[in-house]
A = this chain, B = another copy of it.
Amino acid sequence: MFHVLRTAKGSSARLGRLDTPHGAVETPAFVAVATRASVKGVESGVLCEIGVQMLIANAYHLHLRPGGETVAALGGLAGFSGWTGPTMTDSGGFQVFSLGAGMEHGVGKVASIFPGERLAPGGRRAQGGSLVRLSEEGVVFRSVLDGSPHVFTPESVIRLERQLGADVALVLDECTSPLHDRTYTRQAMERTHRWAERALTAFERTRGEGPNPGQLLFGIVQGGAFEDLRQESARTIGRMPFDGFAVGGSLGRSKEEMLRVLEWTLPLLPEGKARHLLGIGEIPDLFSAVRRGVDTFDCAAPTRVARNGTVFVRDVPGHRISLRNARFHNDPLPIDSSCDCPTCRSHSRAYLRHLCVTGELSYYRLATVHNLRFLVVLLQEIREAIGAGGLDDLERAWCELGQEKEKGDAGR
């Protein structure tokens, strides 16, 4: 259950607490991405040590490997992964569409939807074909691993998520792209609403089943970047008896559009329930979204960029440096001198750069631990600022730290 503890003045930011069977999450909070029940490169013990509050795993990936039954047999996500804190599972709707269609044809978040289409033998059309077949009932897709056919319906995904036993399950939705027109986006949204009703019914029917009987269910608002659709979706999903809500789907083609989507959507959702923003996590975005009333975020970027060499630093332009840069070759400083993470306590930029450029496996963990700790601390500062009425000051201070500096000082 979610509790709003304090609302900020001059913005819709709120301080809250999401109580789950595996503990409380103080919000606003960053939820670390653990797609296959592991934050890439990082063991669960250190996540706890650095203050990560919640992980989000992916039902689609865990369905393919190792399967919901295995996770359930091992005690659900908590028993399976050894991470005993709060968890969420994304339903996998996004992956069904993006991996089924998009990845094959390089269109990324764009799903090629051909209702009623029949797949040729092997599941691929000769050209530009989709591995996804969508109907009112649900979605048929082929595994990216071996081409085997799978069916996701609102009900089967609830069954799967009951097996996975995360503290917060997300319903199956259809994820549209910025390229879909209003007509298609409306159709998809209305189908998503009907799926949401079915998911709620299935969730009620299975209450008490699986390794985590106290599981919560969040609905997902869709509607693309269309104001009236977002409002309609927020009102419709918001009236349903979910434990919380996520904002999903296309958030437009720019940061400005994304913020407008949040402004259209969040005021129409019930104030007393949690709001999760799917897939957003840049530092300026965190401030903007928190101001508009978002309680939790997840985003793969902070951990993915770490693996590529980019680590967060409080007081450099853009709040980030690339350890691949030759200027760190002999740099004895930690990544961020103000950081208290295990990586910054033990290692220099020079050593981390060495591990990064030589492809040493230990690099991935060390960089990821730092970026996660950085966000944990930032969100903690944001919570304290909301509590003390100083969110504007905090955002201004961070903004100044991340500005381009005078020449000669740039990038230290």
Contacts and interface: CB of A to CB of B under 8 A. Distances in A.
Interface of A: 36-45, 65-66, 70, 73-74, 80-82, 307, 329-330, 332, 342, 346-348, 350-351, 353-355, 357-358, 360-366
A364 B43 CA distance: 10
Number of this chain's copies in the assembly equals 2
A42 B362 contact: yes
A381 to B, nearest CB: 26
A41 B42 CA distance: 10
Contacts of A353: 66
3 nearest A-B pairs in the assembled complex, by CB-CB distance = A41-B361, A82-B346, A38-B362
Given A38-B362, A41-B365, A70-B350, 5 more contacts: A36-B360, A37-B354, A40-B361, A74-B351, A80-B354
Contacts of A66: 329, 350, 353-354
A332 B74 contact: yes
A73 to B, nearest CB: 5
A104 B330 CA distance: 32
Given A361-B365, A364-B361, A74 B350 contact: yes
A348 B43 contact: no
B70 A37 contact: no
A330 to B, nearest CB: 5
A366 B41 CA distance: 10
B350 A43 contact: no
A44 to B, nearest CB: 7
A335 to B, nearest CB: 13
A92 to B, nearest CB: 15
A169 B204 CA distance: 68
Contact of A36 (B40, B74, B347, B354): B354
B38 A360 contact: yes
Nearest to A369: B43
Contact of A361 (B70, B355, B357, B361): B361
Nearest to A361: B41
Given A351-B80, A360-B38, A329 B70 contact: yes
